[in-house]
A and B are shown apart, each in its own frame.
Chain A
Amino acid sequence: MAVVLKTDKITKSFGGLLALDEMTLDFREQEIVALIGPNGAGKTTFFNNITGMYTPTSGTVEIFPPNQKSVKIQGMKPNLITELGLARTFQNIRLFGNMTVIENVMVGRHCRTKSHIFGAVFQTSSFKREEKESVEKSFALLEMINMSHLAGNLAKNLSYADQRRLEIARALATDPFLLLLDEPAAGMNPQETEDLDQLIVHLRDELKITILLIEHDMKLVMKISDRIFVMNQGRLIAQGTPVEIQNNPEVIKAYLGE
């Protein structure tokens, strides 16, 4: 299967601390990849380096958007990377709390609409059409996650699990081909985790999206991942299928100690 993102020896250091040490890996079309490792291994730092929040100290990140030439994105602004088709969610939920559920999703549509201030001031027909499309598309995403009945609520008043799912819907609104989920199951009960795993599989199979997942819930990881990357102390220490990872002595050592 075609590669959608490739990192080549990306390194990130903060002063004397080496947070990422020559990480080289790739993700392929329509697969679920999990990134696991002990706390502080550098998983979220890895996410931050490929979404434009940090610029890697060295190394390259290359993405391959469908029907488009590949682009080297290290050091690019986050909004341009999102426009190329990469979206993410956060471990600590970062919804716009004082906006409604549907408005949160519509912010995600922003980069896919073209009209600007003059269209808004003069209410041109193309502006109205785009706004209508944006509402419809956002509403469809809410229906997909069974939250359309909450569309008018303020995001900050949602339950924890709903907030997590809304973050996913909002990221999907940017039309990504690669979606990065940072601990999406954190704080969810078993039933909610079950729903989440169905949603993630649905995204891969129906929407043809590649999912990169940071997760501590090993049951979820082992169940849905096609491939797993294991990090420890900023380095990639293992990669393979769930079965291979479970039997890898390096991994067991990293998790359990010598």
Chain B
Amino acid sequence: MQALNESGSFFLELFFSGLTRGSIYALIALGYTMVYGIIGLINFAHGEIYMIGAFVGLTVAGILSILQFNLIAILVLAALFAMVYAAAYGYTIEKVAYKPLRGSTRLAPLISAIGMSMFLREYVILAQTPDFVSFPALTEGLFDLGAFSSMIQPTELVILIFSFLMMAGLFILIKKTKIGKAMRAISQDREMAMLLGVNSDRMISLTFMIGSALAAFGAILISAHVGQINYNIGFVVGIKAFTAAVLGGIGSIPGAALGGIILGLTESFATGYVSSDYEDVFAFGILVLILIFKPAGILGKSTTEKV
């Protein structure tokens, strides 16, 4: 009985930690999938935006804690600043590295994206530090979970709640508002959308900004949970989130969310029941299987429908 109970609670612990990890992957995967949906580009610099979001959050949190703000104010302001700053980065990167290449070969902006990713990483090494720096535990004291704390940590619960709220907000934006309609129209037929008066350049910028802000938001939450950051965190998470986007069906917004959750759970269970060495083996193994049996991803459309 005791053993069963223990295995049950171990399962739940793995489940929640996987869900947490997955919801962060999902937040970042949304950026990949939105950009892909609207201009057909894999934005490899997206992970670096996430990383820069974490550094901005760290800086803001540092300043505010010197000024003796309370923890919640620090959290809110750090997240807000990081999102705005990341959005500005996303906007600029699109204008500098991708927009001039629109209309050239498909490979050109992709290479530009990889270059931008390297540039940003090196830039942070030079401007900040090549070492790990500790990140304040901003979300630690928000909840007191009492007896449940063996299954889920307070910081994980914060991640779960806020990332789900963010995703719900995004779904409503895409589904219900005129901005979402314009974005969906552009992703189906950009020229036609422009002929209907939609300013496609502005919508593309907006897509980059929203994706970047979501990534920065995720970065603050996860950094406060993990407790340290460095210049390379965007690379690893970026690859995973990209995998999640492909898993769910790149270009599909619910697909990115689903792909993130599946990937997070897979990794967590692999770590818990097999070994943490096998975490990536299982994660990418699932990707390979999906790509073999359903090449467009779980929720992806099986045919290309570009006009």
Interface residues of A, Cβ cutoff 8 Å to B: 51-53, 77-79, 82-83, 87-88, 90, 94, 96-99, 103, 106-113, 115-117, 120-121, 127, 130-131, 134, 170-171, 173-174
Contact = CB atoms under 8 A, between A and B. Distances in A.
Interface string B278-307: 000000000000000000000000000101
B184 to A, nearest CB: 6
Contacts of A99: 181, 184-185, 188
A106 B196 contact: no
B197 A96 contact: no
Interface size class of B (residues with CB under 8 A): 20 to 34
B33 to A, nearest CB: 15
B168 interface: no
A87 B195 CA distance: 7
Secondary structure at the B interface, as helix, strand, loop or mixed, is helix
B216 to A, nearest CB: 16
A110 B195 contact: no
A94 B198 contact: no
Contact of A174 (B173, B177, B196): B196
Given A96-B188, A117-B206, A107 B193 contact: yes
Nearest to A167: B192
Contact of B181 (A77, A110, A111, A115): A110
A117 B185 CA distance: 17
Interface string B161-172: 000000001000
B195 A97 contact: no
B182 interface: yes
A107 B179 contact: no
B194 interface: yes
A61 B193 CA distance: 22
24 contacts: A52-B195, A53-B191, A78-B194, A79-B196, A82-B194, A83-B197, A87-B195, A94-B192, A96-B184, A97-B188, A99-B184, A99-B185, A103-B181, A103-B184, A107-B181, A110-B178, A112-B197, A116-B179, A120-B173, A120-B177, A120-B179, A134-B178, A170-B196, A174-B197
A110 B188 contact: no
B199 interface: yes
A90 B193 CA distance: 13
A97 to B, nearest CB: 7
